[in-house]
């Protein structure tokens, strides 16, 4: 949203706001990228080591929220930087790998939430 505001505002602060949008998007990507499965937690905090991590047990799950991937799409449309397309494609591949469930009696395939003990370790909970 910050990127969209920077793009439409077109004033002295636009460049600064776009820099903030790029930094926030990069931080979200890093929080996802540093897990074993490349899926991020429902919420994360910064530790003393400036590491974005889910610290509370009630935050250690992933419920298919689209905001991060939407950010990649919007930032790509605004900047045309290939990294945002690459990050979006990585996210699609990861979601297909770790959050798809096959239940042929109900649906051919559907997506569901996963707990982050699986996300962070690739091991069952």
**CA–CA distance, 32 with 28 (Å, rounded to integer):** 6
Question: What is the phi/psi pair of residue 21, to 5°?
Answer: -60, -40
Say which of 15, 22, 30, 42 is annotated catalytic. 42
**CA–CA distance, 40 with 21 (Å, rounded to integer):** 19
* H or E element in which residue 109 lies: strand 107-111
Cα of 104 vs its chain's centroid, Å: 29
Active site residue 48: no
**CA–CA distance, 36 with 72 (Å, rounded to integer):** 20
Residues annotated as part of the active site: 42
């Amino acid at each position: 949203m910050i990127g969209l505001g920077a793009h439409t505002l077109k004033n002295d602060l636009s460049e600064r706001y776009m820099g903030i949008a790029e930094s926030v998007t990069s931080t979200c990507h890093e929080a996802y990228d540093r897990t074993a499965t490349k899926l991020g937690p429902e919420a994360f905090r910064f530790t003393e080591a400036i590491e974005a991590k889910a610290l509370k047990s009630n935050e250690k799950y992933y419920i298919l929220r689209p905001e991060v991937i939407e950010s990649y799409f919007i930032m790509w449309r605004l900047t045309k930087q290939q990294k945002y397309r690459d990050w979006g494609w990585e996210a699609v591949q990861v979601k297909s790998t770790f959050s798809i469930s096959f239940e042929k009696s109900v649906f051919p395939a559907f997506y569901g939430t996963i707990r982050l003990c699986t996300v962070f370790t690739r091991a069952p909970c």
